Each structure stands twice: as C-alpha cells, then as structure tokens.
Chains A and B, each alone.
Chain A
Amino acid sequence: DIQMTQSPSSLSASVGDRVTITCQASQDISNNLNWYQQKPGKAPNLLIYDASNLETGVPSRFSGSGSGTDFTFTISSLQPEDIATYYCQHYDNLLFTFGPGTKVDIK
C-alpha cells in the first residue's frame, strides 16, 4: 500500500507570508495527487487536482507542483481566511489515500 506523509504537521505564519507544505508518497504515484483545505468544523474543499491544476473558483494564490514521490503545495500570500488544515490525497482507480494533514494558523 502507498503511504502519504506531509510536513510540517503544523505551522504558523504571518499574513502575507509564503507558505509551503510538502507531501511525499512511499512510491511513484506520477501526478495522481489532489490537495484539500478543511476549515474548522467544516467539510473539506478541493483546491488542486492532478498535483498542479487549480480547481475552478479557487484563488490563484494557491498552487501545487511535483510528480513521482515529492509534491509541494504553496500559498503565495497567506490570508486570514486560509487558516485551515491542508491534506494531500493520492488517488488510484477510485481508491483514495489521504496524507495526515498540515495545520496552518496565523502567527
């Protein structure tokens, strides 16, 4: 089974900062990776699919990159409304595997 890891597990940053989260797969997953945002008490929201494609309606300050085993999720300028936990998710023929999540808050 493919395992997904994320780092860091949490971070604090200032408004306007560039924030980067990494996600690593235990084996090559090509670009079969999505990113979700989950705000406290809410269901998750799809931000990025196929590692680097922005979901319709998602602000352009969010971006993703990577392929193979190493992936990066970036918020180019952190906003107060970005306080949330971010999850990477591998997909393989209808099967999903989520990463453990990265909690982002404001310093």
Chain B
Amino acid sequence: QVQLVESGGGAVQPGRSLRLSCAASGFTFSSYAMDWVRQAPGKGLEWVAVISYDGNNKYYADSVKGRFTISRDNSKNTLYLQMNSLRGEDTAVYYCARDVARGHGDAVDYWGQGTLVTVSS
C-alpha cells in the first residue's frame, strides 16, 4: 500500500536550516508530482511547494519562496524540503503529499503522518 514517511523535523533556532525527507513506497514514485503542505499548531492547511514527477518543475508559496527548496531523488523514492532562514512562523507540522490527477485537475490522495518543525530561540 502507499506509504509516505516524513523525517527530519525538530527544534531549530530562527535563521537556521533544516532538511525534511519523505520516503515513499507502495507506488511508482517517479510517476507522481509531490507536494509539501504544512499546518501550524491549531491552524489550517497551507500549501508550501510542489515538484513535478521528473523534478523539472517546482513551484512555491510566496511565504517560502527564496528560502525553501523542494527536490526529489527518484532513484531513492525520496522527496526533500530544504528549509533555510527559518522563522517562527514556519513552525508547523509538515506533510508530504502525493499529487494525483482527478477530473481535469489535481488533488492530494495520500498524505504522510507529518513531521513537526519548531522554530524558536
């Protein structure tokens, strides 16, 4: 079955960096676009970034553009999120999510369990 397992979260000081990983299994990873979506404590969902199936196209939310980089290694079935210049408002649970075609657009059909990133001095 489809599994997405995030790792790399933790506590970090403002201005520092962190790299999240998402290990995918149970499907052909290289065939799917993948997303990072985050959720601050007690708040709603915020889409962070997406990468196309082949890694050639990447898009970011304005709130993280220039600070975060999404990447993937299809040989390792792994998705990454490099987070630099972290701020307090980046504190959230970060979900890895599989993008799937639905109708004439896209949706997320599988999510990881999430990994918590806490940015605090």
Contacts and interface: CB of A to CB of B under 8 A. Distances in A.
B90 interface: no
A38 B95 CA distance: 13
Contact of B111 (A43, A53, A85, A87): A43
Interface string A86-102: 01010100111111110
A1 B62 CA distance: 10
B117 interface: no
B9 to A, nearest CB: 15
A44 B108 contact: yes
Interface residues of A, number: 24
A91 B106 CA distance: 7
B45 A53 contact: no
B47 to A, nearest CB: 4
A24 interface: no
Secondary structure at the B interface, as helix, strand, loop or mixed, is strand
Interface stretch (B10-18, B20-28, B81-89, B97-105): B97-105
Contacts, number: 69
B59 A91 contact: no
Contacts of B46: 98
B109 interface: yes
Interface string B17-61: 000000000000000010101000000111100101000010100
Given A94-B52, A95-B59, A100 B104 contact: no
A94 B44 contact: no
A97 B59 CA distance: 12
A46 B113 CA distance: 15
Secondary structure at the A interface, as helix, strand, loop or mixed, is strand
A100 B42 CA distance: 12
Contacts of B50: 94-96
Nearest to A35: B107
B57 A38 contact: no
B111 A94 contact: no
A34 interface: yes
A52 to B, nearest CB: 9
Interface-central residue, A36, A91, A98, A99, by most chain B CB under 10 Å:
A91
